[in-house]
Structure 1
């Protein structure tokens, strides 16, 4: 199966990927971020896209996943310390669900935990209890549960929530230590004490067990029965007892002088009931808590350096650098202001600078360089310098003139206007850059999707050329059809479909009267389960799919229908059906249906070619004016049916029909007999005797046919081998 796993890197997602690969699934990864440096377990294809990627439907169309697993409550991208985590989480989940719904197939599994429930639940919580948490993470993950359930009920999708209760694991490093059990083991290693809360209980579900049960949900054939499952150990263990188990394991592995230390009581972990999952799948394995703790302590004791601390991630620029960057324009403005003031005082009266207003140019320069903010700051400095200089020269009298104030107004007006223009140009450039960056990201994403498609194509190219069921081998196998004639084409076609699709149950039906399908060839009793004939127009879902020239795939495993079916056409008229059973649910995929479509197309060409040849040579095969085969044609058809019967492709019988007294010629007898037989039966005249081949019939049906002939005045008997 193709499984798309979505989530940030952590031990849980990497172990999940590894287990999926071990079970033969083809794993695709959606990282949820553009950080290509994050390490993940190797997957078939990796997409470094955020969850809100506008082209998410293209990712789903490229992967065409049978199962999607979203890490949900265990997604390492969300620390729940940022106020934007909740909106980003719900927005990304909505985008994933919409892309999944657009696909209209597959299964969506949303991983949740007991965090969606209040700690006030003292009794075992059943699957029918709705999320009621009050913290940011609990409320957000709970809303995700409701969204997933809504898509399940309202859109009739195979989507389910999976709550994992009290999950704990063997952390690979300090940053993987999250749950209370892992923290107790870490405290024993680093602090030589194990802190526990009195009158407090824990639930423990070992990660390996959780993944084992999760794989049951992934591999389940048919749609899941429920929209929510809970998986847990169904056991409460006092923290004091957990602490004792940790101390016992520490002593076993040489970590000495570790002592338990009790603290005040706190709320116990919520215990989730798993009745639905146990009833549908069974809980047939659980690692004891003692063994799980022992494994954690042993790993920590073997690699203590991994748990001694690590450099904290840098989450933003240094505050000092940010402050200096913001203050740099002001420092630059002051420095240039001092330079201009010195030039004005030193050279202001010279012939070169007499008619140049240096302060005005200074304001204009910073307005055009930084915008309105620096224009105002520069204007304030320049105005202050002019007023102070004039005051020193003429005293208070200088403050009474309007010329300086007119100059100040002009400086502010030009500075603000120039700064406004600069701000607008900057804003326009930033918007253009943002649009360009956005479009570039979309182009890069499309290129990445296309690149993965190319890599997938390249990796499967050898299969297309050489594997059993490949197009190259299909072509080679169907060459045998060129050597077949008439009905023998359909017999060989059944064997070809059986070989290419690697199944044992194939049936080919001929269509008559645009309604009835009559069995021609079958490879097993299962392939004959629809009977010798059936009204295929009543199989509405299959009929509608085949009428649109598509391959029918019975993904719902509905009884009374083949698992896959394809039709053979002649001038848009359905002439034959190819029905297949015995395909595992995991192989009911687009690739498998495409194989059947290719095989059907090749068979169709061969069948049409044979039919056209029969029509062109009808005078050689049939007695003129009748549907009665001549001797050679009848013997050839009989030989084809006997050979097919030896290979269990058909059941058949031959009867002899003697001429009634009122008929003088065998031809007339044979022509009259055709009206009492099915369109798939054959009548022929051999050495003056009339014979009929009854196809796909039983002894009971044979007797009914004989009685029918006798009631019409014919003398009908089973033909002997000698005759």
Structure 2
């Protein structure tokens, strides 16, 4: 299964992506790295450096077809949203609409949107429930509230399954030091640096802190749930800043210096979200207390302190260099122009007239500056050339005023200006054309690079699937043989083959199949792998909670609480609207006990059900040809097919059976009518090729033969063990 996490390189996103990866999902990430960091994700995934609003995101959706989309990418700085609301809305609204549109267009099963407690504004009726009105105080809160409306409408208009989580104050490893939500990380950073902690106000203001791994757990659970609408995601607790510092001081095991500052204007005094709704509907609860979460966060900050400091120094240096580049880039043409003019002046005043008497070096200077830098520098060069010409004339003893009466002076001055303007205009026009072409080429190159990256990714997946097909246990031949094994029209053969199908597909150590009686009150073990003999042979449905659930609901049971008296998973086999058998698996490696395995188990169970239903329909249609007319006796060909299925089950899985022969006198039909009343629904009675009556007792060993003979004898029927089949009993 595939999941897309936007903002997946960020603080919360990296934990969410990691949780899905651990559950067996293929993880894809879209992030523009404005606040995220690639180093936050160290497991196998596919990442695209894009903004959520970028048109190229469609290529990612088109190539991958995601099962779930978790939209965490956002501009999260409240102060920045106040300074620049337009940028905030571009990221938080346009980006969301783009993701919703693509998720709906490419059939994503679930869309989860990360909203915020900021939508409630300054509401002190804590803990706040989802029904409280939204009254945000900042453009950030406004954009989140608007985003929720978009999610509602996409569900209403287009049928996209959307879910909104309003986060309280999330904290944990990998958190940055920006924004109010980062108060824990800010304190951690200063704590480990030995710096003073600053508190705005008296420190009695409270917040609802939730550990990031609890958030990731809730999002993962919700991705395969039927939840929709809005849910608060919080710890449903209130801790003051003073309490937070006291816990940090205890964990740090050293005194902490604290200084109080003036309370920030507009700061919310108390904030807490009621999580009762999500706890009830999602069967979820936060696992970490604030102290436990802070301890884990402290360990991470302590281990990464050096790297963070090095990263900050690198960022500072990069910012300084970035700040210097634009002024240097602007000043460089003027510096080079000045150097060229200085060289011209030096040549002029060195009186090397014989060297350049045949040409005007000023024109060459203007021409070169125009070609290199365009009209701005060519006009400057023309002006400097005119000044140089004036200085040269003054040095020769001419009066400044007299120059304005000289035709040659005006002609040269006009020529310099004309050449500077013409050359500058021509070069500017050429540069503008080239610049536009470069821009288009860069766009095409970037698009090609991106498409090539997507193609390479798809190709890699294709090659990986091909390698699996050729080398893994789940090869085409294996899948083909499994499919062929379920093509039988004999129910007994299908149930026996099901053991092999489930065992090989699910990597389960123990597989058991129970058949239900007509009333659905009892189940009897009819097939299983080695070790199934330790399972009870007969179970009363009413005595087993998990079986009652499977029989009643007709849905897969997943042992989430690891009950000792229940298997890891159980699935029904249904026919005619009723559960006729149950498949139970156990002994599966714990790391494979995932949602992926549950879905795989469901597919296998549906495949078995389809085959079993087809077989039952065939038997019903062929009943006249399977039974001797007017009796309960199976004809030899039908009876032999059942014996072969039982024999295969014995050879492969050690499931015993008994083949008995009727030895009494009297008509076979009369014997069959009496014997049928003593048999279980999983037993059979039929004729062999010689016309003798045989009884096949399922899941019965040879040591039980004496009891069976005695029971039949008490009812006036004589039977004995069929000697030719004794080796298989």
- TM-score, normalising length from structure 2? 0.62
Aligned pairs for 1:615-634 within 5 A: none
Aligned pairs for 1:149-548 within 5 A: 149-170=152-173, 179-189=182-192, 190-191=194-195, 195=199, 197-198=201-202, 199-220=204-225, 223-224=226-227, 226-250=228-252, 253=253, 255-256=254-255, 258=256, 261-265=259-263, 266-297=267-298, 310-311=312-313, 313=315, 314-315=318-319, 317-346=321-350, 349-350=353-354, 353-390=356-393, 392-465=397-470, 470-477=475-482
Greater Cα offset, 457-466 or 446-455:
457-466
- Distance in structure 1 (CA, Å) of the matches to 2:89 and 2:606: 46
> Is the aligned partner of 1:87 residue 2:90?
yes
Tell whether the 8 Å contact from 1:57 to 1:102 is kept in structure 2 after alignment. Answer: no
1:525 CA drift (Å):
7.7
Tell whether the 8 Å contact from 1:73 to 1:112 is kept in structure 2 after alignment. Answer: no
- Distance in structure 2 (CA, Å) of the matches to 1:581 and 1:428: 74
- Distance in structure 1 (CA, Å) of the matches to 2:498 and 2:108: 25
Aligned pairs for 1:618-697 within 5 A: none
- Distance in structure 2 (CA, Å) of the matches to 1:316 and 1:89: 29
Question: Structure 1 residues 492 and 363 mapped into 2: Cα distance closer, same or farther (>3 Å)?
Answer: farther
Q: How many residues align?
A: 554
- Distance in structure 2 (CA, Å) of the matches to 1:461 and 1:592: 25
Question: Structure 1 residues 356 and 123 mapped into 2: Cα distance closer, same or farther (>3 Å)?
Answer: same
1:372 CA drift (Å):
0.7
1:216 CA drift (Å):
1.8
Tell whether the 8 Å contact from 2:68 to 2:110 is kept in structure 1 after alignment. Answer: yes
Residue 400 of structure 1 aligns to a residue whose secondary structure is coil
Residue 317 of structure 1 aligns to a residue whose secondary structure is helix
Residue 427 of structure 1 aligns to a residue whose secondary structure is helix
Residue 398 of structure 2 aligns to a residue whose secondary structure is helix
- Distance in structure 2 (CA, Å) of the matches to 1:192 and 1:43: 37
- Distance in structure 1 (CA, Å) of the matches to 2:138 and 2:144: 10
1:257-310 deviations in Å (ceiling 9; x for gaps):
x35555555532532233431331245344333433455456667776567784
1:404 CA drift (Å):
3.1
Tell whether the 8 Å contact from 1:72 to 1:110 is kept in structure 2 after alignment. Answer: no
1:322-348 deviations in Å (ceiling 9; x for gaps):
433322212222222233344345557
- Distance in structure 1 (CA, Å) of the matches to 2:514 and 2:196: 71
Aligned pairs for 1:20-59 within 5 A: 20-33=20-33, 38-51=38-51, 52-59=53-60
1:380-417 deviations in Å (ceiling 9; x for gaps):
11223334544652542321345433433333233222
1:107 CA drift (Å):
0.9
Question: Structure 1 residues 219 and 127 mapped into 2: Cα distance closer, same or farther (>3 Å)?
Answer: same
1:5 CA drift (Å):
1.9
- Distance in structure 1 (CA, Å) of the matches to 2:514 and 2:447: 51
1:76-130 deviations in Å (ceiling 9; x for gaps):
9x97687745424544433322221211232111222223442355544332456
Residue 3 of structure 1 aligns to a residue whose secondary structure is strand
Give 5+ residue unaligned stretches, structure 2: 506-512, 521-551, 557-580, 585-593, 615-624, 626-634, 650-729
Residue 321 of structure 2 aligns to a residue whose secondary structure is coil
1:371 CA drift (Å):
0.5
Question: Structure 1 residues 98 and 154 mapped into 2: Cα distance closer, same or farther (>3 Å)?
Answer: same
Residue 108 of structure 1 aligns to a residue whose secondary structure is strand
Residue 234 of structure 1 aligns to a residue whose secondary structure is coil
1:179-219 deviations in Å (ceiling 9; x for gaps):
22343454455236574632422221122322222222123
1:165 CA drift (Å):
0.7
1:442-487 deviations in Å (ceiling 9; x for gaps):
22222222222233233333532455654221334566799x8xx6
C-alpha RMSD over aligned residues:
5.2
Instruction: State the match for 1:14 in structure 2.
Output: 14
Tell whether the 8 Å contact from 2:171 to 2:209 is kept in structure 1 after alignment. Answer: yes
Question: Structure 1 residues 462 and 646 mapped into 2: Cα distance closer, same or farther (>3 Å)?
Answer: same
Greater Cα offset, 393-402 or 32-41:
32-41
Question: Structure 1 residues 397 and 593 mapped into 2: Cα distance closer, same or farther (>3 Å)?
Answer: farther
Instruction: State the match for 1:654 in structure 2.
Output: none
Question: Structure 1 residues 365 and 158 mapped into 2: Cα distance closer, same or farther (>3 Å)?
Answer: same
91, 101, 104: which one aligns with 2:104: 101
Residue 30 of structure 2 aligns to a residue whose secondary structure is strand
Greater Cα offset, 30-39 or 88-97:
30-39
Tell whether the 8 Å contact from 1:196 to 1:263 is kept in structure 2 after alignment. Answer: yes
Tell whether the 8 Å contact from 1:195 to 1:243 is kept in structure 2 after alignment. Answer: no
- Distance in structure 1 (CA, Å) of the matches to 2:599 and 2:407: 87
Tell whether the 8 Å contact from 2:177 to 2:186 is kept in structure 1 after alignment. Answer: no
Give 5+ residue unaligned stretches, structure 1: 505-521, 530-558, 564-579, 605-621, 623-633, 649-723
Instruction: State the match for 1:703 in structure 2.
Output: none
Tell whether the 8 Å contact from 2:386 to 2:413 is kept in structure 1 after alignment. Answer: yes
1:50 CA drift (Å):
0.4
Tell whether the 8 Å contact from 2:485 to 2:494 is kept in structure 1 after alignment. Answer: no
